Structure 1
Amino acid sequence: MACTTILVGKDASYDGSTIIARNEDSANGEFCPKRFIVVKPDEQPRHYKSVLSHVEVDLPGEPLQYTAVPNADLKEGIWGEAGVNEANVAMSATETLTTNERVLGADPFVELTPAKGKESEDGYEPEVPGGIGEEDFLTLVLPYVKTAREGVARLGALLEQYGTYEMNGVAFSDVDEIWWLETVGGHHWIAKRVPDEAYVTMPNQLGIDEFDLDDALGNQEEHMCSADLGEFIERNHLDLAVENVTPFNPRDAFGSHSDSDHVYNTPRAWYMQRFLNPYDEQWDGQDADHQPTSDDIPWARQPDRKITIEDVKYVLSSHYQGTPYDPYGKLGDQHSRHMFRPIGINRQSQLSVMQIRPYRPQVNRAVQWIAYGSNPFNTLVPFFPNVDSTPKYLEDTTTRVTSENFYWENRIIAALCDASFADTANAVERYQEKTGGMGHRMVAATDEQIDRLVEGVVDEFDAEDEIGDVQPMEPDEIIEAVRNGEAREVLAAANETMAAQLKEETDKLLDSVLYTTSMNMKNGFHMSDF
């Protein structure tokens, strides 16, 4: 999918949380209705078959419960995309990446080969299944891992065994670490731990620009990779460094620097970092340190200030505000305003922001913030993932257009607001601010309820504490703590309250923007009949 990702290390976030977030954008000309669900262990398949590639995978027998944001229409498979499991491990999959001909020549994609002829006739060639891809990743990995690092290892093993038919980037997080995995060709992969003090921006382009192969093939403290990656690079002459330097640059070796990247990908990284590091360098003009078309925009950097949930939402909703490239702006001209692909685009399906909070008990430390539809016109609100069910307003999406669920209501609002952007902008901004504030209040109030239920866990949180975790536990202990039935009821009730308030405010916004856009219709006439 044509997506955009931001990852925020725990020392770069406003509250010490690890934060991973990604827009799921559908292909051009397509719109993909989404649902927010809980997948219970007895609902998880034990034998999995991909709809797109027909690959079949036997799965372990004891999956964890997890959340997902699957397609409402399963004709192309599940596409679970984003979720948190009972071990408080989050996963976001996937960011479609670019590659180059040298990589594909060395390790081709594993694509479905249809059967030829009829089985009973001479010359028949049976079907050859393809590899695994975005359709499959969350379902195959998230229910079976208890740390972010385990997520990397499991997905890496699956890639080596089954291969993939596309280039993908995948994020994993727990309370301590964020890892980013990038596939390389059909069977190879690299993964790097996000520095605690940094954030990462990822458009649809292979991003890692420094990689320690010795660490990845040795202690794996900050880097991991497929077992034969060193030989693969050397055998296929993929290292493009002029001098024998360390670290190795995967972006040069495995990625792309095409003309289309400079229209579709690099401008998004440029704008996100321009917003989060406004004082670090000169971003605009001919003397800018980085231009929208620069190929060397860093994969990770330390922000000028701590990053909030609202910052994440802003950059993932952006359309180059304050620059000549804003399609809704007044700077530049008609050419510049449509020069680059916006981050907040019309065909956004959903945004999930997974926050793992070290200052909360295990049972309620995970929060999954959700937005549906085109980000400039929607709102991001929190839900607790460690529950037994999700609110119908977010879960009951179908392919039928209706204002009775969050996905379609947001789609309708976006189409109306786009047509009357200036006239509806204030109403949208007030809606976003009000619902965002309601979300933070809901989380705080629910935290207080959990504190009364789980007494003695939360002392005053010290952000400078070396451990920085009010309830450090081994993974199996986390799972046991999260399976607190009474706490789950509290969290589920909070989610329902949030959904009810959200629907009320979204209904009000729909009413407002429908009126405004109706008044701007070209067939209006100011002389009344009476």
Structure 2
Amino acid sequence: MSEYPNYSACTSILVGKKASIDGSTMIGRNEDSKATWPKHFVVNLRKEFKSKQKFISKDNNFEMNLPKISYKYTSTPEWTDKYGKFEEDGINEYNVAMSATESAYANENVLGYDPLVKDGIGEEAMVTVVLPYIKSAREGVKRLGKIISKHGTCESNGILFSDKDEIWYLETGSGHHWVAMRIPDDCYAVVSNQISIRNINFDDSNNFMWSKGIREFVNNNKLNPEQNGSFNFRHIFGTKNLTDVYYNNPRVWYGQKMFNPDIKQNPESHDMPFIRKPQYLISVNDAQKFLASHYQGTPYDPIGSGSKEDKTKYRPISLAKTQEAHVLQIRPNLPDKISGIHWLAMGVAAQSVFVPFFAGIEDTLSEYKNGNLNYSPKSAYWIFKLVGVLLDPHYLELNDTVKNIQENLNIKFKQFIINVDKQYNKEKDINKYLTDMSNKNAKDAINEYQELAYNLIANSTDFSKLNYKQDLNL
């Protein structure tokens, strides 16, 4: 592994088409790693080579051959490729979406029999070697599964796939073994750094996939703790410890509290289900609000009114170490080029805003392709991050100002999408139109946040310890 590993601790959401308000499929995730580690947003254009290409990871030397044709796809790579790309999330030209990865942890007993592979595939490589080569979510699971079985994996992870019809969640549980489950159309799932898939139905290959020989591996090594003969992947391969109690389980609890408010559960429970039918249909804004949440309305909100102990008890969903957050939406009954929308919030989701980009775009603004470790007013990451940094010292006093801008932008984004949907068929050069419109919309959001930063600087001055209020009677 690299000398500066990219440890991730993300939170994910998956929403089936019959669980969403408009029939969209949605997958989303907060990419959480380092407090300041800029991301870019790019379009990787379709490429055709005369011979097969070879991928070699700069992170851990994992390598494999690649097909001659690479489909167009969006992605959010790191600001430097010194440790690898970490492309993380995107939608390709066939409206297949992928987000990788949700870091998870396998137990020592399983890893003793099938340890992680030092130069196996990891988060750094997954989007790069899978998303440009698949035409469906199901195909994505099969491709990644074959790579893991052949080359092994260096990490335990969860990987999200979607297309207009299906959503799949794949989990790696050891060096070479994995399972995947299709999320039922009328259900959603929230995931938080733990192996989450439960009972595998080996008689239902339409809704489950798994690594070859996984049952024999478990049975021969006596790894199954179940007494009823079921195959519970979480119980066999996962963990159940204090990290789950305070770091992972509460995030699942809050997500299920948002979408099933009438169900009462303990935030620390190990027994919350992996999937649920929502009490109400879920919108893309609801999915974004989940990724931007921090236990609002409970004693556990870090900026709420609870006790000091409660406010620091659980790890929130949106936190300072988020590099970017995304929701990948595939809308139904629309032409391919406008069906997919890559919603992207640079920096901390609670303080940033999810900007929509149609998957049919061919380029992004220069601000989204710039930015390194040093602050730059020409970097989208730093423009949105700056607002969060200015807000943090006086969150309660200034949060309404930020919230108002977020709400106004969300209304503008909705109007932007409606207008593009109406105008789409009238345009001759569709790719140029979508690129120009998406980038103009993104530029408006950048300008709003730059103006917001100026206002926060001015308003923050009154909170200075060196301030002095003169008695007007003097």
Q: Shorter chain as normaliser: what TM range? A: over 0.9
Secondary structure at the aligned position of 1:15 is classed as: coil
Secondary structure at the aligned position of 2:390 is classed as: helix
Secondary structure at the aligned position of 1:295 is classed as: coil
Residue 240 of structure 2 is matched in structure 1 by: 257
Residue 39 of structure 1 is matched in structure 2 by: 44
Q: Is the 8 A contact 1:213 1:230 kept in 2?
A: no
Q: Is the 8 A contact 2:48 2:69 kept in 1?
A: no
AA of the residue aligned to 1:275 = M
The answer to whether structure 1 residue 225 and structure 2 residue 182 are counterparts is: no
The answer to whether structure 1 residue 5 and structure 2 residue 12 are counterparts is: yes
The answer to whether structure 1 residue 312 and structure 2 residue 287 are counterparts is: yes
The answer to whether structure 1 residue 141 and structure 2 residue 167 are counterparts is: no
Residue 423 of structure 1 deviates from its aligned partner by 1.0
Partner Cα distance (1:526, 1:389) in 2: 51
Residue 351 of structure 1 is matched in structure 2 by: 325
Residue 514 of structure 1 is matched in structure 2 by: 457
Secondary structure at the aligned position of 1:488 is classed as: helix
Alpha-carbon spacing, 1:343–1:43, altered in 2? closer, same or farther (3 Å): farther
Partner Cα distance (1:170, 1:301) in 2: 19
What does residue range 111-150 of structure 1 map to in structure 2 within 5 Å?
A: 111=118, 130-150=119-139
Q: Percent identity of the aligned residues?
A: 38
Q: Is the 8 A contact 1:449 1:490 kept in 2?
A: no
- Consecutive unaligned residues of structure 2, counting only runs of 5 or more, are 1-7
Partner Cα distance (1:513, 1:434) in 2: 17
Residue 166 of structure 1 is matched in structure 2 by: 155
Secondary structure at the aligned position of 2:60 is classed as: coil
Residue 257 of structure 1 deviates from its aligned partner by 0.7
How well do the aligned residues superpose, as a CA RMSD in angstroms? Answer: 1.8
Residue 195 of structure 2 is matched in structure 1 by: 206
Residue 101 of structure 1 deviates from its aligned partner by 0.9
Which of residues 416, 420, 434 is equivalent to 2:408?
434
Partner Cα distance (1:213, 1:253) in 2: 15
The answer to whether structure 1 residue 277 and structure 2 residue 260 are counterparts is: yes
Partner Cα distance (2:108, 2:446) in 1: 48
Residue 79 of structure 1 deviates from its aligned partner by 0.1
Which of residues 225, 229, 252 is equivalent to 1:244?
229
What does residue range 72-151 of structure 1 map to in structure 2 within 5 Å?
A: 72-111=79-118, 130-151=119-140
Q: Is the 8 A contact 2:292 2:318 kept in 1?
A: yes
Structure 1 window deviating more from structure 2 (151-160 vs 494-503): it is 494-503
Residue 476 of structure 1 is matched in structure 2 by: none
Secondary structure at the aligned position of 2:429 is classed as: helix
Residue 151 of structure 1 deviates from its aligned partner by 0.2
Secondary structure at the aligned position of 2:385 is classed as: helix
Secondary structure at the aligned position of 1:75 is classed as: coil
What does residue range 475-486 of structure 1 map to in structure 2 within 5 Å?
A: 486=429
Partner Cα distance (1:405, 1:443) in 2: 24
- Consecutive unaligned residues of structure 1, counting only runs of 5 or more, are 112-129, 283-289, 454-484
Residue 518 of structure 1 deviates from its aligned partner by 2.4
Which of residues 47, 55, 58 is equivalent to 1:51?
58
Residue 83 of structure 1 deviates from its aligned partner by 0.3
Partner Cα distance (1:43, 1:362) in 2: 21
Q: Is the 8 A contact 1:446 1:490 kept in 2?
A: no
AA of the residue aligned to 2:275 = A
The structure with the larger Rg is 1
Residue 20 of structure 1 is matched in structure 2 by: 27
State the TM-score, normalizing by the size of structure 2: 0.95
Residue 448 of structure 1 is matched in structure 2 by: 422
Partner Cα distance (2:195, 2:294) in 1: 22
Residue 43 of structure 1 deviates from its aligned partner by 9.3
Partner Cα distance (1:43, 1:391) in 2: 25
Partner Cα distance (2:201, 2:228) in 1: 16
Partner Cα distance (1:340, 1:448) in 2: 45
Partner Cα distance (2:433, 2:224) in 1: 54
Residue 219 of structure 2 is matched in structure 1 by: 234
Q: Is the 8 A contact 2:39 2:324 kept in 1?
A: yes
Residue 487 of structure 1 is matched in structure 2 by: 430
Residue 296 of structure 2 is matched in structure 1 by: 321
The answer to whether structure 1 residue 372 and structure 2 residue 346 are counterparts is: yes
Give CA deviations for 1:355-408 in whole Å, capped at 9, x if unaligned.
111121112111000001112111112011222111222222333312222210
Q: Is the 8 A contact 1:391 1:495 kept in 2?
A: no
